[in-house]
Structure 1
Amino acid sequence: MRLQRKQLFVAVVTAISAQAALAADQEGTLETLEIRGSELQEDTYLAPRAASGTGLALDSLETPQAQTVVTRQQMEDFNLNDLNQLLSLTSGVTVERVETDRTYYTARGFDITNFQVDGTGVPSAYGNIMGDLDTFFYERVEVLRGANGLMSGSGNPSATVNLVRKRPTREFQAQARILGGSWQQLRTEGDVSGALTESGSLRGRLSLAVEDKESYLDRYAKQRLLGQGVIEADITDSLLLTLGHSEQVDATDSPMWGALPMQYTDGTSTDYDVSTSTSADWAYWDNTTRSSYAELQNLLDNGWTLTARLTRNETDSESKLFYVYGKPDASTGLGLKAYPSRYDMTTETLIGDIQLNGSFLLNGYPQDFALGAQWYQAEVWDESNYGQGIGTNLGAEEAFDGSYPEPSFDSSVDGSEWTSTQSSLFASTRLMLSDEFSVLGGLRLTQLDVEGSTYGDSKDSDYDLVPVPYAGVVYQMTPELSLYSSYTQIFNPQTKEDLDGDLLDPVEGRTYEAGIKTLLAEGQAQASVAIFATTQDNVAEKVGTRPGGTSGVDDYYRGVDGMTSQGVEIDWVGEFIPGLQTQAGFTHLVIEDAEGEATRKQIPRNQLTLAANYQLPALPELRLGTVVRWQSEVSSSVAEQEAYALADLMAVYQWTDSLKMSLNLNNITDEKYINSVYWDQAYYGAPRSAQLSVSWNY
């Protein structure tokens, strides 16, 4: 069944590809409406305007919050093929790889739960990403740090990740890439875009990719299929209709459910080979993610734009998994126990979004305004069929060699079924008071209703028209230099449960930010410094763990008041000197509880990221680059990871205007490090590896 699904998908996208390629070969001549658009490739790390923070199309100097944008050029230079790799290069973001196929993200000391696609909020059922989201469908990724209750409905003061899709282009363009790498990795990509009619009033874009790879981890392997099709049609001179569908299919063999025990029974730390895995030979975890959307944009006579979008997302997950729990004896290796389970999940989300954007004159200055409404309903169903033999003692090698026999999964059944419905209204404006001063303000009203249960516990909750205000001030000292400050309230419903299985009350609080941003090198580069302070009440703090639940363990929490996070972020991006493209950032954090004691020590207090490439003046066909990531020590109750640095190298040779070859060397020092201490278990990051790719552009 798993193979048949993949074969059917390949057949369908191949047929679509052939038809689209033939149609796209026609030239367009009609001057068409261009409300949105994207090119196949950007040649800079400095990004265009973004609206993920306020709903207003503002450039970075006009936005009173810290922001990082990763462009398509960076994704291609450093093979940032999934969201985990991309966010690991984003200033201030920590990628918590707790398992091979489940990931959390944090920023400024707190979990990132706000995700958007083209500026529309996308709810997350459990606050994590299953599998690793591929970046092939997206032109750029915007990360707005700090609270963002105005556009997302909840003001979690970490960050908002906005994925901006590729869009059809008027002129015919095409790109193909083949990539090979360590552990038998093979990836092929194709991307074609252009006019589908002679007039150019109908345009399309098709993006297809296939990947097959093994891993440095024992027994772990993954096959991936990707397909996205987008059609744009000029209904009238001012009305644009966009239809799109994307699909990501992952078939994963022997994934880790949970990870490695980090502590022996005597309290000393374990130390395994980097390749060690607790997964069984028979284990698998397949995830399919589909997204379909229809968008209508109307350019009104007064220059305002009315945009309506309807999106349907669906995720299907099927798995047989093997979890190993307990602590081993340091001398015998005994003490670990088995926990097999079959787990299936389906989520269906329907999102309706409408926004009105424009500007008006007041006191001789253009004033920006945005008004919007969003409704979504997310239905979640999951079921755990627990295997026979839960609690079986494992031999010293049996926990790690994959040999544990597949049991029947009929010991017991439990699961979840719940529906979350949210309705919200928002309004935001930027008022220019003078040539130098602008004031930004906004308010979002959110109503949230959750009905259903999860593993025997009720998830019922109801919040009526919760207001989340936002305010900011920008002082434009010169055209190249601005000062800013902003304030946002925090309201964030939680999915964490207490000892009795009841949901914790929402997190509430406030966050402040101030900073300076400046353009350099005649506008080709930008630098910024931000300071921030956040206070939150009822923040979930883990109290204990017991076997059970969807992850092999059932954690319970308590709400903690008076948690504070404050720090400094420094960012610089762009072409500071001719030929040198850079994006870099440094973050310093202080996270304390109400008594002033350090808390959430699993999050690094200091982080440094640098991505750079240089075009050699003597040999302009060659670009050389590097990536450096450094973080300070992190720790949990059972594990500690000392400060470490990772370094990558890249080289790109442009053989012709259309053909280039890229070589990427990752973790060149072969550093051994723990991916994350976010959970009580963990596993090691990838050792030294290499990737070679050839790209063709037309």
Structure 2
Amino acid sequence: MWGALGFMYSDGTQAEWDRGASTTQDWTYWDTTTKTGFVEYAHQLGQDWQLKLSYNRRDIRNDERLFYATDLAGAGMDPVTGLGLQGYPWGGADTFTADLLSATFNGRFQMLGREHEAMFGISRSKSETVSSQYAGALCDGAPCGYIPMPAFPWPGDYIPEPVWGDLSVYSTSNERLKRAYGATRLSLTDRLKAVVGFNWAEYHRDGINYAVPFNQTERKTSPYAGLTFDFTPNLLGYVSYSDIYQPQSQSDADGVYLDPTKGSNYELGLKADWLDKRLLTTLAVFRAEQDGLATGAGYNDQGQFYYEGVDVESKGVEFEATGRVSDHVDVVFGYTALKLTGQDGEDTYRWVPRRTANFMVNGRLPAYTALSYGIGGRWQSEISNVESNGFTVRQGSYAVVNGFVAWDFVPNATLRLNVNNVGDEKYINTLRYSGYYGAPRHYTLSLNWRF
């Protein structure tokens, strides 16, 4: 399915569908072929230093025949007839190639009677993307456009596959990224440590996006620093600062790619170990400020979805516990509380859950260690989003629980049963651009034989 389900009726009420509902047609597909390769060389320079060289190559080819459904009028579907959506068939192909070469130099050194650590690196990457679409596709002998659809859900054979025209390039992009970075961990005292570092980047992008040429080059040096202090042998405190610099692939209303988002990130926390260092807990508060973060803004005059760069501040608190509570039981638990504020001072990005929790318990039966088990899951608070028509679509809080049982019936073979979404929870997986339902309860039985 290309796009998402429509959830809003014209009277402002929210629709609900079967989890198998789909806006697509039977002839659609999205085939992807990915080839990757790497080579790595490490050389020990004396006892304390190491040099590592690496090269990575990626080649991705996509071939797509897709069908999109949308509400162009912005009024929502009619709650009685189910009409109001239009469909749009599209076909295309694209290629992406990327090369990354890097060198890192790391080790230990002595200074002022103490041992310290350092790391330095350089890297250079380049990538090329060519995107094409089928021009002049015909539907029932006429040029394809937006097609009025019947009441949703509709059958998968309602729209025949178009007669596709010739492939034509609509977007090309060449990207180059040079980086130099370094960090050192300094032992200031037996209990006080410092981490300081930097990341220098030069980012360049040029090409054409829907007949709009672009040529962008930007350089940025981002420092980061942190301090750790051992209050006791079992309690450590830390504080850190880092810059945020992230190129973005979204474009504005004129088809020009947005500038990289920039900002700062601060974190303050405590780490404590318990039960003879078998259990580690972390409590942290954080704050991040990002300028020019790509945010969906609607459709331009050509019917293309575009973005605007907005300033967003996030802050919150996070707790995590992980370790072994007994000889046969491991646990993981995490909880995050978050607040997001937009440049107008109001709450923003409501599709991001403000409260999340995750847990995992796994172990082996003490009386029969060949049998292992596990249960885990995640919970999130309510999310919502205001769509372009002004209606608000919502998803209440929910939890998804997964479990497994495994049997090592011989020393080199394991039979494993996984059950995902044990409670068969029905939920919309995201509301950033509306979404679709998560998978219902499902099972996997696997045999792992080790030679």
Indicate the residue corresponding to 1:280 in structure 2: 25
**Larger Rg belongs to:** 2
Unaligned runs of 5+ in 2: 139-143, 388-392
Residue 390 (structure 2) aligns with: none
- CA deviations on 1:274-297 (whole Å, 9 max, x unpaired) are 011112111111111111111111
**In the alignment, structure 1 residue 560 sits paired with structure 2 residue 310:** yes
Equivalent residue for 1:347?
96
Match of 2:211 among 443, 456, 473: 456
- How far apart, CA to CA, are the structure 1 residues paired with 2:286 and 2:306? 30
Please, which of 570, 573, 577 is the counterpart of residue 322 of structure 2?
573
Cross-structure match for 1:140: none
Q: What is the CA–CA distance in structure 1 between the aligned matches of 2:301 and 2:449, rounded to whole Å?
A: 51
2:57 paired with 1:312: yes
Q: 1:329 aligns with which of 78, 101, 104?
A: 78
Say yes or no: does 1:364 pair with 2:113: yes
Distance apart, 1:345 and its partner CA? 1.1
**Following the alignment from structure 1 to structure 2, what is the Cα–Cα distance between the partners of residues 652 and 580?**
15
User: Cα offset for 1:318?
Assistant: 0.7
TM-score (norm 2): 0.92
Indicate the structure whose relative CO is greater, using CA pairs within 8 Å and at least 6 residues apart: 1
CA contact (8 A) 2:253 2:300 kept: no
1:666 maps to 2:411: no
Cα 1:275–1:288, aligned 2, differ >3 Å: closer, same or farther? same
- The amino acid of 1:666's aligned partner reads N
CA contact (8 A) 1:520 1:576 kept: no
Partner of 1:502: 256
Specify the code of the residue in structure 2 equivalent to 1:429. Answer: T
**Alpha-carbon distance in structure 2 between the residues aligned to 1:315 and 1:347:** 5
Change in 2 beyond 3 A, CA 1:653/1:543: same
* Kept in 2: contact 1:289–1:315 (CA 8 A): yes
Matches of 2:231 and 2:358, distance apart in 1: 29
- Give the alignment's TM-score, normalised by structure 1: 0.60
Identity of aligned residues (%): 31
State yes or no: 1:421 paired with 2:176.
yes
Say whether 1:384 aligns with 2:133: yes
Tell me, yes or no, if structure 1 residue 693 matches structure 2 residue 435.
no
Which digits, 9 at most, give the CA deviation of each residue in 1:511-531, with x for residues without a partner? 100111123332333211111
Q: 2:14 aligns with which of 245, 249, 269?
A: 269
Deviation at 1:263, TM superposition (A): 1.1
CA contact (8 A) 1:290 1:313 kept: yes
Shift of 1:592: 0.7
Query: CA shift at 1:302, angstroms?
Result: 4.0
C-alpha distance in 2 between matches for 1:321 and 1:305: 49
Larger mean Cα displacement after TM superposition, 301-310 or 386-395: 386-395
Could you tell me which residue of structure 2 aligns to residue 91 of structure 1?
none
Q: Which of 584, 589, 593 is the aligned partner of 2:342?
A: 593
Higher share in helix = 1
Tell me what 1:16 maps to: none
**CA shift at 1:618, angstroms?**
3.0
Question: Which moved further from structure 2: 516-525 or 566-575?
Answer: 516-525
Give the secondary-structure state (helix, strand or coil) at the position aligned to 2:186: strand
Q: Does 1:373 align with 2:145?
A: no
Q: CA deviation at 1:578?
A: 2.0
Question: Counterparts of 2:213 and 2:106 in 1: how far apart (Å)?
Answer: 40
Instruction: Decide which moves more: 335-344 or 489-498.
Output: 489-498
Taking a change above 3 Å as real, the CA distance of residues 324 and 385 of structure 1, as seen in their structure-2 partners, is same
Secondary structure at the residue paired with 1:459? strand
Residue 236 (structure 2) pairs with residue 487 (structure 1): no
**Residue 149 (structure 2) aligned to one of 369, 384, 394:** 394
- Over the residues paired in the alignment, what is the CA RMSD in angstroms? 1.9
What residue in structure 1 maps to residue 199 of structure 2?
A: 444
How much has 1:370 moved relative to structure 2? 0.7
* Deviates most, 654-663 or 632-641: 654-663
Match for 2:186 among 413, 431, 446?
431
Q: Secondary structure at the match of 1:371?
A: strand
Q: 1:66 maps to what in 2? A: none
Of 540, 556, 579 in structure 1, the residue corresponding to residue 294 of structure 2 is 540
- Residue 291 (structure 1) aligned to one of 17, 24, 36: 36
Distance 1:652 1:293 in 2: 34
Q: What SS does the corresponding residue of 2:276 show, helix, strand or coil?
A: helix
The offset of 1:314, in angstroms, is: 0.9
1:478 pairs with one of 227, 232, 243: 232
Pick the aligned partner of 1:525 from 268, 279, 286. Answer: 279
Name the aligned partner's letter for residue 273 of structure 2.
L
Partner residue in 2 for 1:146: none
| Residues 471, 400 of structure 1: alpha-carbon distance in 2 compared, 3 angstrom cutoff | farther
Whether 1:682 and 2:431 are equivalent positions in the alignment is no
1:688 alignment partner AA: R
| 2:357 corresponding residue in structure 1 | 608
The number of equivalent residue pairs is 436
* Counterpart contact for 2:243–2:263, Cα < 8 Å: yes
The answer to whether the aligner puts 1:512 opposite 2:266 as a matched pair is yes
Post-superposition shift, 1:439? 0.6
Q: Which of 162, 171, 183 is residue 407 of structure 1 equivalent to?
A: 162
Seen in structure 2, the aligned counterparts of structure 1 residues 673 and 402 have a Cα distance that, compared at 3 Å, is: farther
Change (3 A) 1:315 1:412: closer
Task: Give yes or no for contact 1:293–1:309 (8 Å, CA) kept in 2.
Answer: yes
Q: For residues 357 and 333 of structure 1, what CA distance do their matches in structure 2 show?
A: 63
